[in-house]
Amino acid sequence: PDRFLTWHWETEEEEERGRLNYVPDSKKPNAGTFILGKEDHTMGNLLRHQLLRDPSVRFAGYRIPHPLIFDVHVRVETMDSKLTPINVFESALLDLQLETDILSKTFEAAIAEFDANRV
Amino acid sequence: MISFDLMDTDISMANAVRRIMIAEVPTLCIDLVQFEDNTTVLLDEIIAHRLGLIPIRSNKPGGMESWTFNHACNCDDFCENCSVKFTLDCDFNEMSRNKPEYQNKVAIPVTSNDLICSDPEVQAVNFSNEEDLQQALGTSDGIVIVKLGPGQRLKLQAIAKKGIGKEHAKWSPVATVALKFDPIVKLNEDILDQYSEEQKMSFVDCCPTKVFDFDEYTQSVVIKNPSQCIFCKECIYTLEDFRRAPEDKLAVEIKHSPDKFSFTVETTGALLPKEVVKDALSMLTAKITKLQEAIPALANSEM
């Protein structure tokens, strides 16, 4: 496939359909696979690591089934049915978002401080 | 070029930021070249490839966000919002006439300084920080594109577009991003005391970055600069020679810190390092937000 397809969606509707999908596991309860379109190890590893920090997650792993198909599969299994994989995924994303917000604010503050000291 | 320390986060976040800085922060680069005349020694496509690799800096207010991607733009072909036009017109005979320093030269270099841009706020650069730029403005030669011999001529038009490193490495704004774990260095005093002074001195000397120091007054080894450790394991090899039995513990223990990292970012000049890091962090936030927005649709289809 063309190289720009690693990150470029051809049509908007394809983007809406393909960005995030969920396939529940047919054999186990409380388990499922999230399919993220046009992503790579950057997000896959980040999500998997964050999911593993959640105590209600029994299994979390990610894989890229084929390097020429630009999808990331994240498989999540929770301890019991109080929290479904979707709930756990949502809370992981929320934690990550808060963390990146704090990161960017701290960075901007540090840059401002550095510039002030230099001048 | 800047270096900063990242703390209280984990390695996957540090790696994600590093990956985004390399591959997903957008910049401007020449993407389309139309040749009018090329009698130089290099082929058209090779010159086009070299032109694409030249870093281009835009001083437009708003940074890279003020440019749209060409494929997403509403214009027909190219417009001011999504592309910049460059022209280059170099002729050996003209250049050796007009510029006195080129009078007797055999080969005249065509450099990135000869690329003339239609937008005054955009220019080709070859410096990576502001001090160098200020010092050398007007005196530097620019990046050499090709060298002209007598009678050779190069005339072309080029269009620069916005893109990301994932598509082609020319769009990557960084020269390197170095991510380093901070080391945790611990000395085991009991075992160290068993060694003679000579052994301690050779242990201190074997470290290439001078992490350890020998304190004359107390006749003991102290840790001087733990963060300069480069994990070369020289000290561990030296200590392995010293110990009496293989199952004895080593006197020094060096571990990666799981939550402290140091980044060193060096850019090509297309963007300032602090802009690169800022853009990278905002792109990471945007990615996470987009996934978050897609979740309600999932939940509905689940039910």
- For B165-224, what is each residue's pLDDT tens digit? 888 888 888 877 878 787 777 777 777 777 777 777 777 777 777 777 777 777 677 777
Query: Rounded to whole angstroms, how far apart are CA atoms B216 and A110?
Result: 39
* Confidence check: pLDDT of B136 > 60: no
Q: How does pLDDT run across B60-101, given as a tens digit for each residue? A: 777 777 788 877 777 777 777 788 888 888 888 777 777 766
Q: What is each CA distance from B265 to A100, A110, B199, B268, in whole angstroms?
A: 19, 15, 39, 10
Query: Is the model's pLDDT at B33 over the cut of 80?
Result: yes
pLDDT at B137: 53
Interface contact B298-A111, CB threshold 8 A: no
Contact status, residue A48 vs residue A62, Cβ threshold 8 Å? yes
CB A58 within 8 A of CB A52: no
**pLDDT number for residue B212:** 75
Would you state the structure tokens that stand for residue B239, as one six-digit string? 């200590």
**C-alpha dist (Å) from residue A109 to A98, A103, B8, B282:** 17, 10, 17, 15
Which pLDDT score, from 0 to 100, does residue B104 have? 65
- Percent residues over pLDDT 90 in chain B: 2
Q: State in Å, rounded, how far the first CA of chain B is from the last one.
A: 51
pLDDT digits (tens, 9 = 90+) for A6-63: 777 777 777 777 788 888 888 888 888 988 888 888 888 888 988 888 888 898 999 9
Measured in residues, chain B has a length of 303
DSSP-assigned states of every residue in B116-137: EESSTTEEE---SSHHHHHHHT
- 3-state DSSP assignment of residue B89: strand
Round to whole Å and give the CA distance between B55 and B186.
45
Instruction: Indicate the pairing of strand A71-78 with strand A57-63.
Output: antiparallel
> Which residue's structure tokens are 């689940």?
B302
Cβ–Cβ gap A86/B299 under 8 Å: yes
Residue B34 has a pLDDT of 92
Note which residues in 156-195 of chain B have CB less than 8 A from chain A: 164, 166-168
Report the pLDDT value the prediction gives residue B119, as an integer from 0 to 100.
Answer: 72
Amino acid letter, A4 = F
What mean pLDDT do residues A91-108 have?
A: 88
Task: Tell whether A17 lies on the interface with B, counting CB pairs under 8 A.
Answer: no
Please state, in angstroms and rounded to a whole number, the distance separating the CA atoms of residues B109 and B102: 10
- What digits encode the pLDDT tens for the residues B225-258? 777 777 777 777 777 777 666 666 677 777 777 7
Q: Tell me: the pLDDT tens digits for B109-131?
A: 888 777 777 776 666 665 544 55
Does any CB of chain B come closer than 8 Å to the CB of residue A46? yes
> In this complex, do A103 and B294 lie within 8 Å of one another by their Cβ atoms?
no
Q: What is the pLDDT of residue A118?
A: 73
Nearest by Cα to B285 from A70, A46, A34: A46
Distance from CA of B191 to the nearest CA of A (A): 37
Question: Best mutation site among A42, A98, A99, A104 for testing chain B: the one with the most B CBs within 10 Å?
Answer: A42
Which candidate, B270, B279, B276, places its Cα nearest to that of B125? B270
- Whether B86 and B157 have beta carbons less than 8 Å apart is answered as yes
State the pLDDT confidence band at B161, using cuts at 50, 70 and 90: confident
* Cβ contact, residue pair A42, B9, below 8 Å: no
The candidate with the shortest Cα–Cα distance to B288, out of A115, A99, A3, is A99
Question: Which candidate in B2, B161, B170, B295 is best for mutational testing of the A interface (most A CBs within 10 A)?
Answer: B295
Rounded to the nearest 10°, the torsion over CA B108, B111, B113, B115 is: 110
Enter the tokens of residue B28. Answer: 């401007």
| pLDDT at residue B46, as a whole number | 92
Contacts of range A29-33, beta carbons closer than 8 Å, 24 or more positions apart: A29/A81, A30/A77, A30/A78, A30/A79, A30/A80, A30/A81, A30/A84, A30/A85, A31/A59, A31/A75, A31/A76, A31/A77, A31/A78, A31/A85, A32/A75, A32/A76, A32/A77, A32/A85, A32/A86, A33/A73, A33/A74, A33/A75, A33/A76
Structure letter (DSSP) for residue B156: E
Q: Give bridge partners of residue B160 from the DSSP assignment.
A: B30, B84
Q: Which amino acid is at B70?
A: N
Residue B123, phi-psi category: left (phi > 0), alpha (psi -120 to 50), beta (remainder): beta
Q: Does B71 touch chain A (CB under 8 A)?
A: yes
Three-state secondary structure call for residue B286? helix
Res B301: pLDDT: 64
Residue with tokens 């990046």: B143
What tokens does B10 get? 């984990």
pLDDT of residue B300: 66
The pLDDT of residue B303: 46
